Structure 1
Amino acid sequence: MKKVTVTAKTVDEAIALALKQLNAEKNQVTVTILEEPTKGFFGFIGARPAKLEVELKIDPIQEAKTFLQDILATMSVTATIEVKNEKDATLLDIIGEDLGIIIGRRGQTLDSLQFLVNTVANKHSDSYLRIVLDAENYRLKRRQTLEQLADRLAHKAIKTGQVIKLEPMPSHERKVIHTFLQERKNINTYSEGQDPNRYIVIQAKK
């Protein structure tokens, strides 16, 4: 049940009745007053109760989670989804076994699913929400791999003087490399090209 229509002597009583029926708190609903209460003649003749429509607000994170659960079911993937609040994002962590099909080659499937759940969540949110999707701790492992790659290629650029061009990467992976190398005073990094073929260039400072 997501919406109820209730009547009571007062607006407050009607809201309380609706919250009980919806098993919700006041900040979780929107209230529309359909009819204001009237006392009538002599306080009771022709009196009319308050009539309200009370609807549960859509939880954008829950909508995203439900959407993802439906996709996993369609893909015949048995897994649970844990919601974790992080500093600047909400993490939807997919927990299960043999989740390679969810991750895809170099995380491409995971990135595509992440884009979709962000679209669903922000459709129901007044302010921008950032959702990160993960499975089998892939994000951490991938970041470590990218940092190792950046370190190795930075040393190569310094040693050989070559301009190193990496393969195209999504923006969040490019950011990992830029961030990892930004404190190195003898290295420059920048991006070239257009998405989805945008790539990082690493070169030694002269």
Structure 2
Amino acid sequence: MTDTSTPPASDASAPEAVTEASAAADASTEASAEAPAEAKKSESVASDSDLFRQSEIAADYVEGLLDILDYDGDIDELVSAGRPMVEVVGGRLQPLVGQRGATLEALQELTRLAIFRATGSPSRLLLDIGGYRAARRKELAAVARNAVEKVKEHGEAVRLEPMSAFERKCVHDVVNAIPGVQSESEGVEPNRRIVVRVAE
């Protein structure tokens, strides 16, 4: 069994490889929000057992990080919506989230690297700490609905502020569920943003 309870030793090529693979996985996740249902059905997905194995590796790795950083938290590992997830619940976890989730995103990339090193495959693991992502989803749903209202009222496209792949996916999901409007992403990271406009 691969030991992922402690952060991996420095390896110049591995972080670069997993960053590129992780970016591709995030792009695929975001793109799937805009893809037709037929295309989604045709996508090959890992088995639930593979996904749960990824969540187990991630949970072990996160537990090791918490021990090193001297943070306490309960760790839940699960598979949701076809992707592995790890949720950390507890008090005094805000520093691990950071401003607008920046630290959380960095920890997620490190955890995906742990999975990559253990399995040799990129992962779409979603890491949540202190319920940040659930709360952020609600905020982004409100942002998306507000943009839709403006588009329907004025007929002009609305450009939102730059967002992470996770945040863009949340907005795409809300907009694409509303008839008469559509969303698409433009620009490059870290300034990639969503444009909401009248459906063509």
Q: State if a TM-score over 0.5 links the two structures.
A: yes
1:199 aligns with 2:199: no
Contact kept, 8 Å, 1:167 with 1:199, in 2: the verdict is: yes
* Compared CA separation, residues 161 and 86, structure 1 to 2 (3 A): closer
Give the Cα separation in 1 of the matches to 2:156 and 2:59: 46
Give the Cα separation in 2 of the matches to 1:165 and 1:60: 36
TM-score, normalisation: structure 1: 0.64
Higher normalized contact order (CA 8 Å, seq sep 6+, divided by chain length)? 2
Correspondence list, 1:5-154, <5 A: 61-154=55-148
- Please state how far the C-alpha of 1:63 moved relative to its aligned partner: 4.1
**2:174 corresponds to:** 180
Say which structure is richer in helix: 2
RMSD over aligned Cα, in angstroms? 2.4
- Please state how far the C-alpha of 1:136 moved relative to its aligned partner: 2.3
* Compared CA separation, residues 62 and 203, structure 1 to 2 (3 A): closer
Contact kept, 8 Å, 2:160 with 2:193, in 1: the verdict is: yes
Contact kept, 8 Å, 1:80 with 1:95, in 2: the verdict is: yes
**2:161 corresponds to:** 167
Query: Which amino acid in structure 2 is aligned with residue 158 of structure 1?
Result: K
Contact kept, 8 Å, 2:75 with 2:86, in 1: the verdict is: yes
Give the Cα separation in 2 of the matches to 1:205 and 1:126: 40
5+ residue gaps in structure 1? 3-58
Say which structure is richer in strand: 1
Query: Which amino acid in structure 2 is aligned with residue 201 of structure 1?
Result: V
Give the Cα separation in 1 of the matches to 2:74 and 2:186: 39
- Please state how far the C-alpha of 1:60 moved relative to its aligned partner: 5.5
Moved more, 177-186 or 99-108: 177-186
Give the Cα separation in 1 of the matches to 2:55 and 2:196: 38
- Please state how far the C-alpha of 1:144 moved relative to its aligned partner: 1.4
Structure of larger gyration radius: 1
Q: Secondary structure at the match of 2:119?
A: coil
Instruction: Quote the sequence identity (%).
Output: 28
Give the Cα separation in 2 of the matches to 1:203 and 1:74: 47
Give the Cα separation in 1 of the matches to 2:81 and 2:194: 27
**1:56 corresponds to:** none
1:71-117, Cα deviation, whole Å (9 max, x unpaired): 22333322232222334122211121121111112222111111110
Contact kept, 8 Å, 1:60 with 1:120, in 2: the verdict is: no
Aligned length: 150
Contact kept, 8 Å, 1:88 with 1:130, in 2: the verdict is: no
Q: Secondary structure at the match of 1:84?
A: strand
* Compared CA separation, residues 98 and 190, structure 1 to 2 (3 A): same
Give the Cα separation in 1 of the matches to 2:80 and 2:155: 40
5+ residue gaps in structure 2? 3-52
* Compared CA separation, residues 126 and 70, structure 1 to 2 (3 A): closer
